[in-house]
Structure 1
Amino acid sequence: MTTTTVSLRPRYEGSNICTWIGFKHVNYMVEEAVLDHLRQSGFPAGALYERFGLCTDITDLDTKILTAFHIDDLARATVKRVDGEGPLRLVVELTVERDGKTVKAVKSKVAVSFRLDPHGFDAEPVPTELRPHVVEEIGTPGAAVLDKVGALEPIAVGDADPLDVLTAGRNAFAWAWRIPYFYCHFTERVQMSGYLRQMEEILDLFVEDRGASIKTLLDEQNWIPVVPKSRITFLGEANMEETLYTVFTVEEVFKRYTFTARMDCYVLRDGELVPTATGRITHGWAVIENRKDWSLVDFDDRLIGAITGKAGSLSGRGAS
């Protein structure tokens, strides 16, 4: 089946500020649409694993948010399959009703790989239709993807602190974090939703470190962060109970209105930081006008100083 549709609602957990839904839970809706597409196509994720030993992994998720979701919205998701080699590629669009009209709320490009289960239980032969998308290990994607996100190479650490290595000479913040089982799936490795949670948390830690925490700006100015665009691409595998080193690097500030930052994730193996995921996120800030509405604002001097590294702690590192 090349095109499917499904109706979805955002989860209550994602309604953190007033009734608006954050970017992470918007991406969760995209993920649900993809899983439903596979079910309607005859390949539910559960059966793929239990019968064929195939682990369904979203390995690239590139999402643009055009209209904000509220907690009671009902979205209509359309998923279209795109021909090509390598991972299964899909385009997902979410629409929502606004003032009696259907408007496009989200457009997302998604790549799915079917990773062979490493645990060695008996399995049926892989379905013919899925064979081109099956991998023995999740690794570096094709050059077309890396051209947009940026290639990463392993980094030798030696006796240095990995957090210092990742932030030296950069407008960046890094964080060391032990990977718990509940960020993983298929018994061993971090899944896409785990990296989305990393991307959300590293921004929170970054602005707090710079003296402009989310709560500070809410309490003092009624400002909230908003995300119009995000992308995460898998480069390798990060496993349960390894330490994940995540670095958040500011790349560009656009007219005091938005800024783009890069998130890179590594695990330390044999003295090297091995890249496992990379991505970008675009952030703006908005003022809460009432319980239903907000509007974007220009960054003030405090916020622009925090983002550019000219104010705040500038410690550039953290640890959990």
Structure 2
Amino acid sequence: MTTRTADLSAASVPALAEPSRLEIRPRYEGSNICTWIGFKHVNYLVEEAVLNHLRQAGLAPGTLYEDYGLCTDLVDLDTRILHAFHIDDTAVAEVAPHRRARDGELLFAVTLHVRRDTLLKAVTSTVRVQLRLDPRGGGELPVPPALAPFAVDRLSARPDRAVTPVAADPAAGDLLKELTAGRNAHAWTFRIPYWYCHFTERQQMSGYLRLMEEAKDRLVADRGVSIKTMLDERNWIPVVPHSRITILDEARMEEELYVVLTVESVFKGFTYDSRMDTYVVRDGRLIQTATGRITHGYAVIKNRRDWSLVPFDDRMTAALEGRSA
């Protein structure tokens, strides 16, 4: 304990300015369609690269929590996928402070390369991290002065944003209907289980990634163009070039989360953009906990290795626009 904490207390927040490098493979779980890796597991690679960067700087998440009661949380994750990963690929990750990072914030630029005939830039991501002071007893030692600027008592990627209730009345009746009124949207409720949380009780970024993936699945199934339907009828699969999730406030274990996916635009019949918003009812008020955006297209499976982007047909366009074909 003494050696470890001494190293961390002297730890080099300046070391965060040094770029880091990691070679890592995608998780097998993420190979859902043929051997391609879905956007959620691409984001898991980004998360692992950031955690490795912190460890190399002497800020191992386990040590931060056990000694100082500091929870390492990703609160903003903005990722663009330029080339697809396959299950046996090796990702070469590079992490460095983002050029827009200000004093007192942990903002990183992440690049993932994939080995082909040459090393291709496959993913770029911007990641914001916060160190959340744990209320459950804290750590054994006081937070070192070098880490104090990064410590927060509430997770929010926009800490200056006031926590104001959303203009909806939880007591009025059908809250889901109220949240989707006048929108091209689909909504449902979700009880947050413990396995979507970490550091005991708060939903983590990966939980929101799972919900964003589920939101797409629920939307198209509700409109008669489920993923299995389009796979059987067209040999189509969804593809994601861009996703972003921003945590605005904390969501806690066993709270009822209201999840709303709104289709905002269909672009030239090839891609569409959706916004995901999540809310909880707390102390009789509806509070927004996160917002996110995701871009989807569809690709036709050409063989076990290759696919190509295809335009939407009239049926798909009508479903995405929320009208009858």
Query: Which interval holds the TM-score relative to the shorter structure?
Result: over 0.9
Q: 1:8 and 1:140 mapped to 2: Cα distance?
A: 27
State how 1:71-150 maps to structure 2 within 5 Å: 71-82=87-98, 83-98=101-116, 100-139=117-156, 141=158
Code of the aligned partner of 2:281: L
RMSD: 1.6
- Code of the residue aligned with 1:27 in structure 2: it is N
Question: CA 1:259–1:71 in 2, change beyond 3 Å: closer, same or farther?
Answer: same
**1:135-174 equivalences in 2 (<5 Å):** 135-139=152-156, 141=158, 154-157=166-169, 158-174=171-187
Secondary structure at 1:238 match in 2: coil
Cα distance in 2 for residues equivalent to 1:86 and 1:257: 41
1:170-213 deviation digits (Å, cap 9, x = unpaired) = 10000101000000000001000000000000100000001000
Q: For residue 317 of structure 1, what is the aligned residue in structure 2?
A: none
Question: What letter matches 1:258 in structure 2?
Answer: T
- Secondary structure of 2:135's counterpart equals coil
**Residue 302 in structure 1 maps to residue 318 in structure 2:** no
Contact 1:166–1:247 at 8 Å: present in 2 too? yes
Paired amino acid for 2:147 = L
| Distance in 2 separating the partners of 1:180 and 1:60 | 21
1: distance between equivalents of 2:174 and 2:105? 36
Q: Which residue of 2 aligns with 1:39?
A: 55
Shift of 1:52: 0.6
Partner of 1:245: 258
Contact 1:155/1:272 (8 A) holds in 2: no
Alignment of 1:1-320 (within 5 A): 1=15, 2=17, 3-82=19-98, 83-98=101-116, 100-139=117-156, 141=158, 154-157=166-169, 158-311=171-324
Measured in 1, the distance between the counterparts of 2:146 and 2:187 equals 41
Matching residue of 1:318: none
Aligned equivalent of 2:6: none
Using the TM superposition, name which of 65-74 and 153-162 deviates more: 153-162
Q: Give the match's secondary structure for 2:92.
A: strand
Deviation at 1:152, TM superposition (A): 8.2
The verdict on how the C-alpha distance between 1:264 and 1:62 changes in structure 2, with shifts beyond 3 A counting, is same
Q: TM-score, normalised by structure 2?
A: 0.91
Q: Please give the alpha-carbon distance, in whole angstroms, between the structure 2 residues aligned to 1:292 and 1:155.
A: 48
Relative distance call for 1:67 and 1:140 in structure 2 (3 A) is: closer
Tell me if structure 2 keeps the 8 A contact 1:210–1:311.
Answer: no
Report % sequence identity.
Answer: 60
Q: Counterparts of 2:168 and 2:110 in 1: how far apart (Å)?
A: 39
Letter in 1 for 2:168: A
Note the C-alpha offset of 1:97: 1.3
Contact 1:39 1:45 survives alignment (8 Å): yes
1:129 offset after TM fit, Å?
Answer: 2.9
Deviation of 1:107 after TM superposition, in Å, equals: 0.2
Secondary structure in structure 1 of the residue aligned to 2:246:
strand
Q: Distance in 2 between matches of 1:121 and 1:171?
A: 44
Shift of 1:271: 2.8
Structure 2 unaligned segments of length 5 or more: list them: 1-14
Task: Identify which range, 210-219 or 265-274, moves more after superposition.
Answer: 265-274
- Matched positions, count: 305
70-79 vs 263-272, which moves further: 263-272
Alignment gaps of 5+ in structure 1? 313-320
Instruction: Give, in angstroms, the shift of residue 131 of structure 1.
Output: 1.7
